[in-house]
Amino acid sequence: MTTSPEEESIELQQPQQPKRRNRIGTKNKELYNWDPIEYEQNESSFATQEYIQDRIRKDECNTNYVLSMPSNHDINLWQYEQIRQFTLELNHFTALFKDFCNQTTCPSMKATDDWLFLCASHKQTQECSAIDYIIHTLDSTSAILNSDKHFPKRIEIPATSIKHFQSICRRLYRIFAHAFYHHRELYNDFESKTNLHKRFCKFCLQSNLLPKSAILVKE
Protein backbone atom coordinates (compact mmCIF):
# COMPACT_ATOMS: atom_id res chain seq x y z
CA MET A 1 0.00 0.00 0.00
CA THR A 2 1.36 3.42 -0.95
CA THR A 3 0.97 6.64 0.98
CA SER A 4 0.26 10.07 -0.38
CA PRO A 5 2.74 12.95 0.11
CA GLU A 6 0.32 14.44 2.63
CA GLU A 7 0.27 11.23 4.71
CA GLU A 8 4.07 10.99 4.61
CA SER A 9 4.29 14.57 5.83
CA ILE A 10 1.98 13.80 8.76
CA GLU A 11 4.06 10.73 9.68
CA LEU A 12 7.28 12.75 9.64
CA GLN A 13 5.73 15.35 11.90
CA GLN A 14 4.82 12.81 14.60
CA PRO A 15 6.93 13.52 17.71
CA GLN A 16 9.50 10.83 18.35
CA GLN A 17 10.20 9.67 21.89
CA PRO A 18 13.87 10.41 22.63
CA LYS A 19 16.14 7.39 22.77
CA ARG A 20 17.10 6.73 26.36
CA ARG A 21 20.35 4.85 26.03
CA ASN A 22 24.05 5.30 26.70
CA ARG A 23 26.06 5.26 23.49
CA ILE A 24 29.28 3.27 23.16
CA GLY A 25 32.14 5.48 24.33
CA THR A 26 29.99 7.69 26.56
CA LYS A 27 32.05 9.26 29.36
CA ASN A 28 31.13 8.47 32.96
CA LYS A 29 30.00 12.01 33.72
CA GLU A 30 27.68 11.93 30.70
CA LEU A 31 25.98 8.59 31.44
CA TYR A 32 22.18 8.68 31.69
CA ASN A 33 22.24 12.26 30.42
CA TRP A 34 18.61 12.47 29.41
CA ASP A 35 15.57 14.22 30.81
CA PRO A 36 13.10 12.14 32.83
CA ILE A 37 9.75 11.56 31.17
CA GLU A 38 6.37 11.05 32.75
CA TYR A 39 5.42 7.44 33.34
CA GLU A 40 2.31 7.76 31.19
CA GLN A 41 4.43 8.90 28.24
CA ASN A 42 6.90 6.03 28.42
CA GLU A 43 6.01 3.28 25.97
CA SER A 44 8.86 0.98 26.98
CA SER A 45 8.23 -2.47 28.47
CA PHE A 46 10.59 -1.34 31.24
CA ALA A 47 8.72 1.89 31.96
CA THR A 48 8.37 1.22 35.69
CA GLN A 49 12.05 0.41 36.13
CA GLU A 50 13.04 3.51 34.16
CA TYR A 51 10.64 5.66 36.18
CA ILE A 52 12.17 4.49 39.47
CA GLN A 53 15.75 4.90 38.26
CA ASP A 54 15.05 8.36 36.84
CA ARG A 55 13.80 9.44 40.25
CA ILE A 56 16.80 7.95 42.02
CA ARG A 57 19.19 9.81 39.72
CA LYS A 58 17.28 13.06 40.23
CA ASP A 59 16.92 12.97 44.04
CA GLU A 60 18.33 9.77 45.51
CA CYS A 61 17.99 10.69 49.17
CA ASN A 62 14.37 11.79 48.92
CA THR A 63 12.67 8.54 49.91
CA ASN A 64 9.12 9.85 49.50
CA TYR A 65 9.91 11.02 45.98
CA VAL A 66 11.54 7.75 44.90
CA LEU A 67 8.74 5.66 46.42
CA SER A 68 5.94 7.77 44.94
CA MET A 69 3.97 5.39 42.73
CA PRO A 70 2.32 6.72 39.54
CA SER A 71 -1.45 6.99 39.75
CA ASN A 72 -3.44 3.91 38.73
CA HIS A 73 -0.28 1.81 38.68
CA ASP A 74 -0.47 -1.92 39.38
CA ILE A 75 0.70 -2.37 42.98
CA ASN A 76 2.20 -5.81 42.43
CA LEU A 77 4.28 -4.64 39.49
CA TRP A 78 5.38 -1.60 41.49
CA GLN A 79 6.56 -3.75 44.39
CA TYR A 80 8.32 -6.15 42.04
CA GLU A 81 10.28 -3.39 40.30
CA GLN A 82 11.18 -1.71 43.59
CA ILE A 83 12.53 -5.01 44.93
CA ARG A 84 14.55 -5.49 41.73
CA GLN A 85 16.02 -2.03 42.22
CA PHE A 86 16.88 -2.66 45.87
CA THR A 87 18.62 -5.89 44.87
CA LEU A 88 20.66 -4.01 42.28
CA GLU A 89 21.70 -1.31 44.74
CA LEU A 90 22.53 -3.85 47.44
CA ASN A 91 24.89 -5.52 44.97
CA HIS A 92 26.69 -2.19 44.64
CA PHE A 93 26.78 -1.87 48.43
CA THR A 94 28.13 -5.39 48.88
CA ALA A 95 31.00 -4.67 46.49
CA LEU A 96 32.30 -2.24 49.12
CA PHE A 97 32.57 -5.04 51.69
CA LYS A 98 35.61 -6.66 50.04
CA ASP A 99 38.18 -5.07 52.35
CA PHE A 100 36.13 -5.36 55.54
CA CYS A 101 34.05 -8.53 55.52
CA ASN A 102 35.49 -12.00 55.00
CA GLN A 103 35.47 -15.47 56.52
CA THR A 104 37.97 -14.39 59.17
CA THR A 105 36.44 -11.11 60.29
CA CYS A 106 32.83 -12.32 60.05
CA PRO A 107 32.66 -16.14 60.19
CA SER A 108 28.89 -16.01 60.86
CA MET A 109 26.04 -13.92 59.51
CA LYS A 110 25.00 -11.86 62.51
CA ALA A 111 23.36 -8.58 63.34
CA THR A 112 23.63 -8.22 67.11
CA ASP A 113 24.93 -11.17 69.14
CA ASP A 114 21.30 -12.15 69.68
CA TRP A 115 20.70 -12.72 65.97
CA LEU A 116 22.40 -15.47 63.97
CA PHE A 117 21.06 -16.02 60.46
CA LEU A 118 21.29 -19.38 58.71
CA CYS A 119 21.65 -19.51 54.95
CA ALA A 120 18.72 -20.99 53.02
CA SER A 121 20.61 -21.26 49.73
CA HIS A 122 21.55 -24.88 50.37
CA LYS A 123 19.71 -28.20 50.39
CA GLN A 124 19.60 -27.81 54.16
CA THR A 125 19.88 -24.46 55.92
CA GLN A 126 23.34 -24.00 57.34
CA GLU A 127 25.66 -21.44 58.85
CA CYS A 128 27.70 -19.39 56.39
CA SER A 129 30.23 -16.62 56.76
CA ALA A 130 28.57 -13.23 56.47
CA ILE A 131 29.98 -12.44 53.04
CA ASP A 132 28.95 -15.86 51.69
CA TYR A 133 25.47 -15.44 53.15
CA ILE A 134 25.12 -12.03 51.53
CA ILE A 135 26.32 -13.22 48.12
CA HIS A 136 24.13 -16.34 48.28
CA THR A 137 21.13 -14.18 49.20
CA LEU A 138 21.67 -11.72 46.37
CA ASP A 139 22.27 -14.52 43.87
CA SER A 140 19.16 -16.46 44.89
CA THR A 141 17.08 -13.27 44.91
CA SER A 142 18.24 -12.39 41.41
CA ALA A 143 17.44 -15.92 40.25
CA ILE A 144 13.88 -15.70 41.57
CA LEU A 145 13.22 -12.21 40.21
CA ASN A 146 14.52 -13.21 36.77
CA SER A 147 12.74 -16.56 36.72
CA ASP A 148 10.51 -17.15 33.70
CA LYS A 149 8.49 -19.50 35.89
CA HIS A 150 7.66 -16.98 38.61
CA PHE A 151 7.87 -13.71 36.67
CA PRO A 152 7.43 -14.41 32.95
CA LYS A 153 6.59 -10.78 32.07
CA ARG A 154 7.91 -7.41 33.18
CA ILE A 155 4.52 -5.77 32.68
CA GLU A 156 2.33 -8.16 34.68
CA ILE A 157 2.98 -10.05 37.92
CA PRO A 158 1.19 -13.38 38.51
CA ALA A 159 -0.78 -13.42 41.76
CA THR A 160 0.86 -16.73 42.68
CA SER A 161 4.33 -15.12 42.64
CA ILE A 162 3.63 -12.32 45.10
CA LYS A 163 4.32 -14.73 47.97
CA HIS A 164 8.06 -14.42 47.25
CA PHE A 165 8.19 -10.72 48.12
CA GLN A 166 8.09 -11.10 51.90
CA SER A 167 10.81 -13.75 52.13
CA ILE A 168 13.03 -11.80 49.73
CA CYS A 169 12.69 -8.58 51.72
CA ARG A 170 13.28 -10.37 55.01
CA ARG A 171 16.59 -11.79 53.78
CA LEU A 172 17.71 -8.61 52.02
CA TYR A 173 17.13 -6.62 55.19
CA ARG A 174 19.70 -8.73 57.02
CA ILE A 175 22.42 -7.25 54.81
CA PHE A 176 21.68 -3.81 56.22
CA ALA A 177 21.56 -5.15 59.78
CA HIS A 178 24.92 -6.89 59.46
CA ALA A 179 26.53 -3.81 57.93
CA PHE A 180 25.15 -1.53 60.65
CA TYR A 181 26.31 -3.63 63.59
CA HIS A 182 29.61 -4.90 62.20
CA HIS A 183 30.76 -2.38 59.59
CA ARG A 184 29.31 0.84 60.94
CA GLU A 185 31.70 3.24 59.22
CA LEU A 186 31.02 1.66 55.83
CA TYR A 187 27.29 1.63 56.52
CA ASN A 188 27.21 5.28 57.63
CA ASP A 189 29.17 6.46 54.61
CA PHE A 190 26.95 4.62 52.12
CA GLU A 191 23.71 5.53 53.87
CA SER A 192 24.63 9.23 54.03
CA LYS A 193 24.94 9.26 50.24
CA THR A 194 21.97 7.07 49.31
CA ASN A 195 19.43 6.72 52.15
CA LEU A 196 19.06 3.17 50.84
CA HIS A 197 18.31 1.59 54.23
CA LYS A 198 15.79 4.29 55.07
CA ARG A 199 14.10 3.87 51.68
CA PHE A 200 14.08 0.07 51.96
CA CYS A 201 12.47 0.13 55.42
CA LYS A 202 9.88 2.69 54.37
CA PHE A 203 8.98 0.64 51.32
CA CYS A 204 8.72 -2.64 53.25
CA LEU A 205 6.60 -1.16 56.03
CA GLN A 206 4.30 0.67 53.61
CA SER A 207 3.88 -2.51 51.56
CA ASN A 208 3.44 -4.78 54.61
CA LEU A 209 6.41 -6.87 53.51
CA LEU A 210 8.19 -6.57 56.87
CA PRO A 211 6.79 -6.14 60.38
CA LYS A 212 8.25 -3.40 62.58
CA SER A 213 9.68 -6.09 64.83
CA ALA A 214 11.98 -7.18 61.99
CA ILE A 215 13.65 -3.75 61.83
CA LEU A 216 16.79 -4.33 63.89
CA VAL A 217 18.52 -1.03 63.15
CA LYS A 218 17.17 1.68 65.43
CA GLU A 219 18.53 5.03 64.28
Q: Which pLDDT band, with edges at 50, 70 and 90, does 159 fall under?
A: very high
Give residue 122's pLDDT: 87
**Per-residue pLDDT at 39 exceeds 80:** no
- Written as one letter, the residue type at 201 is C
- Give the C-alpha distances (Å, rounded to integers) separating 138 from 20, 63, 91, 150, 175: 28, 22, 7, 17, 10
Residue scoring higher pLDDT (54 or 3): 54
- Rounded CA separation 12/112 (Å): 63
Q: Which of 4-18, 63-77, 144-158, 205-219 has the lowest mean pLDDT?
A: 4-18
Give residue 11's pLDDT: 45
Give residue 79's pLDDT: 98
What is the average pLDDT across 1-30? 55
Within 13 Å and on the Cβ side, how many CA atoms surround 81? 24
- Give the rounded percent of residues in the chain with a pLDDT score beyond 70: 79
- Domains of the chain, start order: 74-214 (1.20.140.30)
What is the average pLDDT across 183-191? 97
Averaged pLDDT of the chain: 87
Cβ(210)–Cβ(169) below 8 Å: yes
Give residue 21's pLDDT: 64
This prediction has a pTM of 0.84
- Written as one letter, the residue type at 179 is A
* pLDDT tens by residue, 97-138: 999 999 999 999 999 888 899 998 888 889 999 999 999 999
Give residue 64's pLDDT: 97
What is the average pLDDT across 189-199? 97
Question: Cβ–Cβ contacts within 10 Å for residue 56, how many?
Answer: 18
- Rounded CA separation 147/86 (Å): 17
Q: Which pLDDT band, with edges at 50, 70 and 90, does 10 fall under?
A: very low
The answer to whether the Cα torsion of 12, 18, 23, 27 is positive or negative is positive
